[in-house]
Each structure stands twice: as structure tokens, then as C-alpha cells.
Structure 1
Amino acid sequence: MSNNQSNQSLAFCFSGSSPISNKAVNHTVASAYFSAVFSALGLSSNLFALVVLVKAFHQTKSRSRSSFLLFLCGLVVTDFMGLLVTGTIVVSFHVTHFDWMLLDPNCHFCNFMGMSMVFYGLCPLLLGATMAVERFVGINWPFARSANISKSRACYMVFGVWVSAGFISLLPLLGLGSYHIQVPGSWCFLNISHMPLDMAFCLIFSLVGLLSLAVSFVLNTVSVVTLLRVCCGQDSSRRRRDYELEMMVQLILIMVIASICWCPLLVFIAQTVFSEGKLNVPRLLLGIRFATWNQILDPWVYILFRRSVLKRVYPRMDWSRGSIASLYPSFRKLTRSSLGGTSRLGETKLDGQISQETKQEDEDPFPEQNAPAHS
């Protein structure tokens, strides 16, 4: 009776994988150093980026920038925890060569890692789409946004992304799909097969990720076009470049990195479940390695593409501070002509918001004079 139960418990997380031989383990022993260095680099980068963001958050007075920094902090924390959880398991396997079937006969540990892979994989993509929406609203309807988006609401939105990704990662435990151990035996991931339930879960994971990237691309493109129109319009000589440009540069780079790192894996999963061929293990491993680079490259966007760094790289550019509200004389004319019936009270409130935002100066957490000369 116990043997039957053991076979049944092993079936759902080991049946889709070929047995992990000692030869495979020995072949990947060199990966212990690579995985350890890879994880250490990612963890230290995210930790340093978190320090940068926390200092910037405490010193900023702009409401729009505070909300954006909260989203970035959520992304950094997610990347850090993802590397910590998955990296610890992978490095432990390469160092100890533990037997999954003996260590985890009921597949609880495998399910945990599979859930972690899905959760920490979807969170950056969903957060990138959420930040794209936030910037789109902030640039195209800044005054409506300033009345509706607060720091607490930004925190709720980050928490909502975590809950959504967590719910998707729990679907295999609810009967939709399953998590299986993957070659070379150091990790668990969703079972990419042609079984209806596994196929449905694979498509959910792939399509949610691709849809997030598509939303980010469309909204960021519109936001960039809007900023270019404002900065290069008739009143461009009187307008001030500010942290809105900094935030858009960071967000565009986050989107580009996520697209390059995740599209190969997401497209590969969708193609595999729709085709009748066998799983291409080398392509799966290559896609996973590409996706993991996202967690390492993301923090360097916040570290390198700050105003203090950009001012040193491009000293001729005008990096004066201010709010995007100061860029809006033509937008206000357009608003008056399109809405016509705008009340004087509304215009007074609008001008008050403009002057208040323009007067607020954001102090960079790492000013130029404090930067080391050799950096």
C-alpha cells in the first residue's frame, strides 16, 4: 500500500522528466561556481539598488516620483527574493547533489520551487506593465492622476500584483497544470506537455507574460511620444527637463531588458504546447538562463541611469529639476479648447498644482559632489 502511494506521489512531479543520472550531475558540477557567482552578483546588485531607491524616496517631495519609486522598490524586492529563493535551491543541488526522490517523495519541495519560478517570473512583467500604466496616466492626465494616486494606493497596487502572480502560481495545486522536476535535476518548473490541463496552465503563464510586455510597449511608446511633443514643441525653450525624463528612460530600459530576457522563453512555451514535437530541453534551459538575467540587469538600470550619473555622462544637457506640470502651457490651451466649459475654479486649482509642483525640488540621493572621482 505504501509503495503504491509512493509511486502515485512520485508520478505527478517526476513522471514528465527523465531520471537524473550521476553522469548528468557530474556534467553540471561546474555549474555550482557559475550559479553561486550568478546569484551573488544579482543579490548584491539588487541590494545596492534598493539602497539607492530608499534614499531617493525619503528625499523626494514629488508625489509622482514617490509613487514611481515605490513601484521600483517593489520590483527590486521581488527580484532580490526571487534570486535568493531559487538561487539557494540550485546552488544547494550543485553542491550536495541531493536526490529529489529521496528528499522530496511527496513533491512538496518541487511544488514550492515551481511556484517560486512562476511567481518571481511573472511579478517583474506585471510590475513593468503596472508602471507603464502609471506613467501613461501620469504623463497624459497628470492632474487627474495627482488627485487619485497616492503612496498608499501605489503600495496596494504592488501588493495586488503580488497577489495576482501568487494566484497564478497556485493554479497547479488547485488542479490546473503541474510542476515537474527539470533536467539536469536542479530545478522544478511547470510541466510543458500536451496534456489539456498542463497545456492550459502553460498558455496562461505564457500569454500573461506576453500580454504584460505588449501593454508595456504600447503605453510606453505613447508616453514617450507625448513627452517628445511637449519637450520639442513651440514652448520648448521655456520648458524645464525634469525627472519625468529620468523615469521614462528607466522604464523604457526595464521594458527592453524584460522583452529580451523573457520573450524567448514565453514564445518557446507557447510554441511547444501547440506543436506535436517533444520538449526541446536545450532551448528550455537557454530560455530560463535568458530570463534569469532579467533579475540581474534590472537593478543596474536604477544604479546607472540616475540624474547624477546622466549629468556626468551628458553634462551639456539641461537637467534642471521641476515637474512635468511646468511643461504644460500648450496642454492647458488644448484642454481649454477641447473642454470649453472648464470652470475658473478648475483652472485656479490647476495653476496651483503647477506652481506647487514646480517649486518642489528633488534632492538626488547621491549628488555629484559626493560621488567619488574615480567612479
Structure 2
Amino acid sequence: MLALSHFNCSGSPLLPYISNDSGGKVEAKVAVEGLLHHGNLTLLQPTTSGVIVVILSMTLGIISNIVALFILVNAYSLQRRRTKATFLLFATSLVVTDFIGHLIPGALVLRLYLSGGVHPEDFNSSDRMCQFLGGCMVFFGLCPLFMGCAMAAERCLGVTKPLLHSSLVTKTRTKICLCVIWLAALCVALLPCLQLGSYTYQDPGTWCFIKVLSDTAELDVAFVALFSGLGLTSLTVSLVCNTISGLTLVLYRLRRQPGSHHSAKSHDIEMVVQLVGIMVTSCICWSPLLIFGLMCVIHSYTQSIGEDLTGYKTLLVMGVRLATWNQILDPWVYILLRRTVLRKIYLITKCQSGLRANMISRWEPSFHSSEKNEVNRV
């Protein structure tokens, strides 16, 4: 989870040169006080309420992931169906990745937030912590998208071609697929170590990401295009696979004979419903950052940002804030969209509709009897 504070700057953000002697320090202090007095500069000061919000948000994410992980591990240990066990292995790996991706970057950003952030003059400089934080942003951003895509493809194969699925998909191959996903995301995140792109501090100086707004080069454009392209492609493949799986299950439900055995399909319905929840959450949380990042780097490289720089910074901050909610909302998909919860919702809905039907059936005889009495009186 990323906590993003705000710089509020107007006028010239440049401060005078500060020398090492005491006279220079006094002059710099007087200059800063003059800027503050005239309203040309507002310095960042972390507030207690902001820190409390950050801590509460991190706590919510950690608790959500732990609860979801407990549910998935318990279900995996009790599961005997291989198709369901494969899905639970994917889901457990996704929750573990979300948990680590919520904890490590969140702790680093909280540290930057408490220290007051990085000054705008130092945004283009990059230290080891910025490199690590930027790499975590890319790695823990791509992993859930790749896993959601792999889960959707696996379920699509299981629903449409169950015999082929049973012969191809095994626990060993699932673990290999997970390792390939983690390795692919790690390779993309480490590209700046090979000078193929770069990470820098982003406004307001409390987080690091790919260089997208200033001094962008061709490699930066290629890096952002790779990151956004992989993410958007994963979301598109997930959408297509989940649509095919959902339509297949709906057609099976319509063609099913009354009284036939359908427990296997009920498991498929539960998994597809959860996948749709994951896909919707990922689309809402990650699409803005993927699109805004690509827009920013293209306009920055073509030098067409101009006076819209502040607007692009705002869009980028909004995108990363939405992206951080993905690791908080993902666990609730498994907590709320389980078959037991869905069955209870179905039974409650059915009982409500049954009560309404009973009330209508009770009113109908009384209505008919009253009509007969009126006819007899006449």
C-alpha cells in the first residue's frame, strides 16, 4: 500500500544555494522565510491524521490478506478434486504475492512519508531505495495481472475442454507456471539494472516509478510501453477467457436436464465467479495507472506536455493510489465470493421470493371468496 503525501508549490520552486558556512545558512533561512511569507512556497509537513490513515489502510490490507490466505489454505488442504486444487494453488500464490507486495512497498513509502519525502529538485536522482521501490512497484504490479490471466486461461480450458485439461494441467506444471510468472515479472523489473529504462522519484516525492514525466529517453518510452502493454494484454486475455467460461456455464445450465447431477459444475461456477471478481478488481485498479503512465511518457518524450504537467502528475498519483487498492480488494473476492456465502445469499433470496409467493397465494383465495360473497348478495 502506498501512502502519497502532497507538495503544494506555487511560483518558483527553486531555493537559493546553501553554503556550508553559517552566513550561507542564515541567508538561505531568510530567503525561505520570505518565500513562505509571500505565499510562494509551502513546505511539506507530515500530519498525524495522514500517518494514521496510512497505518489503518496498511492494517486493513494485512488483515484481509491473512484472512483470505487462511481460507484458501484450509480449502486447499480439504480439496480432493484436482481441478479445484489447481485453482486454489493459483489463488493462494496470488494472495501471498499481494500480501508481500502490500507490506514491503508500503513500509518503504511510509518511511519516506514520515521523513518528509524527497525534495522536487532531487526527483531525477535515484538512490538504492528508489531503485528497489520502483522495482517492487513493477514486480508486484505485473505478478497479479499475470496470475489472473493464467487462472482465467486455466479455467477456460477446464470448462470448455475438461478432458484436455485433465491431461495437461497438473500440480507440478502449475508450480512451474507460477515460477515462470514470478521470473518473468522479475526480469521486467530488473531491466533498469541493465540500463534499459530507469526509476525515479515521483511527485510528491514519496514513491518511485518508471521515469515518465521529465528527461525521458527512448529506453524509458520502451520500458513503459512494455510494462503497460504486458498489463493491458493480461487484462484483455482474462476478459476473453472469463467471458468464454461464463457463456459456456450458462449454456450448460440452460441445457441441463432437471434432476441431473451438477456438483462438478457448481465448483466451476464458484471459480468463474471469483475470477470475474478478480478481473473486475484488476481492471478498475490497474487500468488507470497503465494508461496514464503510457500517456505521460509519450507526451513527455514528444515534449507536448507544456502547461499540462500538473494535470499529468495528478493523473499519475490517482493511478497509483487506485493500483494500491488492488492488494486490499483482491482478498475480499475469496472471502465474499465463496460457494458457502453464495449459497446463503441464494437461499435468502429464494426464501424472500417464497414468502412473497405465499403472501400472494394467501391473498388470492380471500379475494375469490369475497367475490363469491358479493355475487350471492346480489
Q: 2:305 aligns with which of 271, 274, 277?
A: 277
Q: 2:177 aligns with which of 148, 157, 168?
A: 157
Letter in 2 for 1:253: G
- Residue of structure 2 equivalent to 1:296: 328
TM (norm. structure 1) is 0.75
SS in 1 for 2:45: helix
- Residue of structure 1 equivalent to 2:230: 208
Q: 1:114 aligns with which of 105, 128, 134?
A: 134
> 1:106 & 1:249 partners in 2: Cα distance?
43
**1:129 partnered with 2:149:** yes
- Residue of structure 1 equivalent to 2:194: 174
**1:312 partnered with 2:334:** no
Task: Decide whether aligned partners of structure 1 residues 58 and 28 sit closer, same or farther in structure 2, where only a CA change above 3 A counts.
Answer: same
The alpha carbon displacement at 1:107 in A equals 1.2
Query: How many residues are aligned here?
Result: 300
The alpha carbon displacement at 1:273 in A equals 2.4
- Residue of structure 2 equivalent to 1:66: 85
> 2:274 & 2:224 partners in 1: Cα distance?
30
Structure 1 residue runs of 5 or longer lacking an equivalent are: 1-17, 319-375
> 1:271 & 1:106 partners in 2: Cα distance?
23
> 2:348 & 2:258 partners in 1: Cα distance?
16
Q: Contact (CA 8 Å) 1:311, 1:317: kept in 2 or not?
A: no
**1:90 partnered with 2:109:** yes
> 2:203 & 2:211 partners in 1: Cα distance?
12
Letter in 2 for 1:289: R
TM (norm. structure 2) is 0.74
- Residue of structure 2 equivalent to 1:264: 288
C-alpha root-mean-square deviation of aligned residues, in Å?
A: 2.5
Percent identity reads 40
Q: 2:271 aligns with which of 247, 251, 256?
A: 247
The alpha carbon displacement at 1:317 in A equals 8.7
- Residue of structure 2 equivalent to 1:199: 221
- Residue of structure 2 equivalent to 1:183: 203
SS in 1 for 2:347: coil
Task: Decide whether aligned partners of structure 1 residues 28 and 258 sit closer, same or farther in structure 2, where only a CA change above 3 A counts.
Answer: farther
- Residue of structure 2 equivalent to 1:354: none
SS in 1 for 2:255: coil
List per-residue Cα deviations over 1:145-197 (Å, max 9, x = no partner).
11221112111111111111110001111111100011222111111144211
List per-residue Cα deviations over 1:307-332 (Å, max 9, x = no partner).
111121111799xxxxxxxxxxxxxx
SS in 1 for 2:208: strand
Task: Decide whether aligned partners of structure 1 residues 236 and 125 sit closer, same or farther in structure 2, where only a CA change above 3 A counts.
Answer: farther
- Residue of structure 1 equivalent to 2:362: none
Structure 2 residue runs of 5 or longer lacking an equivalent are: 1-12, 16-31, 33-40, 351-378
Task: Decide whether aligned partners of structure 1 residues 80 and 24 sit closer, same or farther in structure 2, where only a CA change above 3 A counts.
Answer: farther
> 1:51 & 1:19 partners in 2: Cα distance?
51
Q: Contact (CA 8 Å) 1:35, 1:90: kept in 2 or not?
A: no
The alpha carbon displacement at 1:237 in A equals 4.5
Letter in 1 for 2:347: P
> 1:156 & 1:236 partners in 2: Cα distance?
41
> 2:298 & 2:203 partners in 1: Cα distance?
22
> 2:43 & 2:189 partners in 1: Cα distance?
28
